Amino acid sequence: MLLVNNIQENLEKYVEGLTKRGITDGAKLLNEVTDLDSQRKKTQQQLDEIKSKSNQLAKQIGQLFKEGKRDEAEAAKAETAQLKEQDKSLSEQLNTIQNELINKLYNIPNIPHPSVPAGKSEDDNEVIKVNENNKPSLHDGAKPHWDLIAEYDIIDFELGNKVTGAGFPFYKGHGARLVRALVNYFLDEAQKAGYIEVQPPILINEDSGYGTGQLPDKEGQMYGITDSNLFLIPTAEVPITNMYRDVIVSENDLPIKHAGYTPCFRREAGSWGAHVRGLNRLHQFDKVEIVQIADPAKSYELLDEMVAHVEKLVNSLELPYRILRLCGGDLGFTSALTFDFEVYSAAQEKWLEVSSVSNFENYQANRLKLRFKNSDNKKQLAHTLNGSALAIPRILAAILENNQTPEGIKVPKVLQTYVGTDVIKK
RNA sequence: AGAGGAGUGGCAGAGUGGUCGAAUGCGGCGGUCUUGAAAACCGUUGUACCGCGAGGUACCGGGGGUUCGAAUCCCUCCUCCUCUGCCA
């Protein structure tokens, strides 16, 4: 969340940032926050004073008892009643104010980076690079992947419907093999790039949800385990970044780089429709995520590095792709700057989002209390970054569609040893 | 899952109602000594919030309670250890 102390100092910038996101009453929101904060300070001062008096009095009473001055002690005891009442009432006030303040802060998104274009929706995202070198020319009768998977019997949606529900497919035979190949390939590449692999839990608690910003903003996106008060992760970002919740790392350890493979679970409430077919949108999918904990001075450099990493992956899979800089309206709640990668899926003639690479600056770190000791030996909030590298199903969709031939589906070179064949046949 | 035990500062560990933000040791930092280092000795050393400052407040696993006063007593939750049971 935003740092209250910085809001007052940079009010104009903050309002401008929120406006970019399409929040028109930003000034009002921010003023409410700073007002609440001064109320908080005032109330706490009053409360501290009352507590100070109570503490003094309690010491005196102890002393009086020791000296055997019972009557005086009892008299002093009577005096504390009033203080207690004031204490109680002020504590309640303070509590209310603090809750209100934190709720307000939870509901204000991150301030976009200056380079983020204004805009309302994904239509306003800025295409910063298009690489169509690998755009295929498909043979007559080329099919979208939902037909291919049935024809090759490699992914079974019906079976998923039966066993779980819509959006939970079974991958079979070469389909399962392809998923595993992609996961392994992505993890191996991440390792080569210096990311330490972790295999995190795929259930997280509420604190973790708040730490990275899924709560309270996106509660409806996650599946909840209600009897244990846990959530299925929507992305490995959540458990991996939360490894560093309430942690003070040393400057020498930065940047901290982690990669992790997990299944991801998303309810996608309200986003289901006819345009979402096959692998384009699922409730459960596999993803390799890369995460960095960074020195604020270097985080944008590292963001570029992560974008380059993802670009290399997409290139190596011989897929046409483009890179987008998300506009204010499409930017994630906690992000300051996000680049999306889309690959071209040739039979459905669609760009599919396969990666989102973001710098959250200190927005998550502030919630996480993730800090490092800087060269002055002072504690400072770190920056957090993450990116998909990559999400599997849409990559798979594009590979199936783009690589189809009348003889079978060609396996990209980099995957052949993982899959164990260079072509998948019926 | 059941029974028992335990959770205190970076670590170890004392503290069972007031003089405790907390002994002591280790570690860290600064110094004396030394050509340098070690040893020894001396000093210093938690975090957050409020305040220009003096200083104040809170924090002994989390939350709640009793009390004029709680690390200490009570309730509750969490975690760890031991034993028993169950299970990839």
Distance in angstroms (rounded) separating the CA atoms of residues A39 and A140: 70
Q: Is the CB of A41 under 7 A from strand B?
A: yes
Q: Is the CB of A284 under 7 A from strand B?
A: no
- Do both A290 and A326 map to the same domain? yes
Q: Which nucleotide is nearest to A47 (CA to C1')?
A: B57
A379 compared with A315, residue with greater pLDDT: A315
Asked, for residue A308, whether it belongs to a domain, the answer is yes
pLDDT at A272: 66
**Residue A351, burial from CB neighbour count under 10 angstroms (0-12, 13-18, 19+):** buried
User: pLDDT tens for residues A317-369?
Assistant: 999 999 999 999 999 999 999 999 999 999 999 999 999 999 999 999 999 99
Q: Which nucleotide is nearest to A40 (CA to C1')?
A: B50
List bases in chain B with any atom under 7 Å of a protein Cβ.
18, 47-51, 56-58, 68-69
- Do both A253 and A356 map to the same domain? yes
Q: Which among A147, A146, A144, A392 has a CA at the least distance from the CA of A278?
A: A146
Indicate which CATH number applies to the domain containing A358: 3.30.930.10
- Do both A48 and A154 map to the same domain? no
- Do both A160 and A91 map to the same domain? no
The CA-atom distances, in angstroms, between A164 and each of A159, A161, A171, A173 are 8, 5, 14, 20
| Rounded average pLDDT over A147-151 | 95
Distance A146 CA to B18 C1' (A): 76
pLDDT at A153: 95
Q: Is the CB of A61 under 7 A from strand B?
A: yes
Q: By three-state DSSP, how is residue A322 classified?
A: strand
Q: Which two tokens stand for residue A76?
A: 């002093």
For A272, residues 6+ apart whose C-beta sits below 8 A from its C-beta are A166, A167, A281
The CA-atom distances, in angstroms, between A8 and each of A14, A20, A29, A335, A360 are 9, 19, 12, 21, 21
- Do both A95 and A168 map to the same domain? no
User: How far is CA A416 from its chain centroid?
Assistant: 32
- Do both A164 and A18 map to the same domain? no
Of A66-75, A97-106, A152-161, A232-241, where does mean pLDDT reach its minimum?
A: A66-75
pLDDT at A273: 65
pLDDT at A373: 84
- Do both A247 and A396 map to the same domain? yes
Distance A355 CA to B44 C1' (A): 52
User: pLDDT tens for residues A36-92?
Assistant: 999 999 999 999 999 999 999 999 998 888 787 888 888 888 888 889 999 999 999
Asked, for residue A116, whether it belongs to a domain, the answer is no
Give how many domains chain A has, as a whole number: 2
- Do both A128 and A99 map to the same domain? no
Beta bridge partner(s), residue A94: none
The CA-atom distances, in angstroms, between A273 and each of A194, A202, A278, A281 are 40, 27, 12, 10
Distance A378 CA to B71 C1' (A): 29
pLDDT at A374: 81
- φ, ψ for residue A251, nearest 5 deg: -55, -35
Q: Which nucleotide is nearest to A57 (CA to C1')?
A: B68
pLDDT at A384: 97
Distance in angstroms (rounded) separating the CA atoms of residues A172 and A159: 11
Q: For residue A250, what pLDDT band results from cuts at 50, 70 and 90?
A: confident
pLDDT at A270: 66
The CA-atom distances, in angstroms, between A78 and each of A58, A61, A72, A84 are 11, 11, 10, 10
Provide the ipTM: 0.87
pLDDT at A387: 97
Distance in angstroms (rounded) separating the CA atoms of residues A50 and A273: 60
For A341, residues 6+ apart whose C-beta sits below 8 A from its C-beta are A310, A311, A314, A321, A322, A323, A324, A353, A354, A355, A356, A357, A388, A390
pLDDT at A3: 94
SS (H, E, C) A131-197: ECCCCCCCCCCCCCHHHHHHHHCCEEHHHHHHHCCCCCCEECCHHHHHHHHHHHHHHHHHHHCCCEE
CA within 13 Å, CB half, A82: 6
A308 compared with A137, residue with greater pLDDT: A308
pLDDT at A157: 94
Q: For residue A31, what pLDDT band results from cuts at 50, 70 and 90?
A: very high
CB A209 within 8 A of CB A241: no
Distance in angstroms (rounded) separating the CA atoms of residues A303 and A156: 37
Distance A378 CA to B17 C1' (A): 38
Distance A95 CA to B63 C1' (A): 14
Q: For residue A274, what pLDDT band results from cuts at 50, 70 and 90?
A: low
**Farthest-apart Cα atoms in chain A, separation:** 104
| Rounded average pLDDT over A176-182 | 97
| Rounded average pLDDT over A267-286 | 82
Q: Is the CB of A48 under 7 A from strand B?
A: yes
Q: Check pLDDT > 90 for residue A301.
A: yes
Which of A78, A106, A134 is a domain's end point? A106
User: pLDDT tens for residues A382-426?
Assistant: 999 999 999 999 999 999 999 999 999 999 999 999 999 999 998
Indicate which CATH number applies to the domain containing A93: 1.10.287
Asked, for residue A41, whether it belongs to a domain, the answer is yes
- Do both A273 and A413 map to the same domain? yes
Distance A152 CA to B13 C1' (A): 67
Q: For residue A185, what pLDDT band results from cuts at 50, 70 and 90?
A: very high
Domain coverage including residue A197: 122-424
Q: Check pLDDT > 60 for residue A255.
A: yes
Asked, for residue A113, whether it belongs to a domain, the answer is no
- Do both A172 and A99 map to the same domain? no
- Do both A291 and A208 map to the same domain? yes
Asked, for residue A70, whether it belongs to a domain, the answer is yes
Q: State the DSSP string of A191-247.
A: HHTTPEEE---SEEEHHHHHHHT-TTTTGGGS-EETTTTEEE-SSTHHHHHHTTTT-
Asked, for residue A114, whether it belongs to a domain, the answer is no
Which of A106, A141, A171 is a domain's end point? A106
- Do both A100 and A155 map to the same domain? no
Q: By three-state DSSP, how is residue A323 classified?
A: strand
Which of A73, A106, A139 is a domain's end point? A106
pLDDT at A252: 84
pLDDT at A124: 95
pLDDT > 70: percent of chain A: 99
Q: Check pLDDT > 90 for residue A228.
A: no
Asked, for residue A314, whether it belongs to a domain, the answer is yes
pLDDT > 90: percent of chain A: 81
pLDDT at A275: 64
Distance A369 CA to B9 C1' (A): 19
Distance in angstroms (rounded) separating the CA atoms of residues A51 and A56: 9
**Residue A357, burial from CB neighbour count under 10 angstroms (0-12, 13-18, 19+):** buried
Q: Is the CB of A96 under 7 A from strand B?
A: no
Q: Which two tokens stand for residue A387?
A: 């990116």
| Rounded average pLDDT over A95-121 | 94
Q: Check pLDDT > 70 for residue A267.
A: yes
The CA-atom distances, in angstroms, between A240 and each of A289, A346, A384, A426 are 9, 34, 11, 39
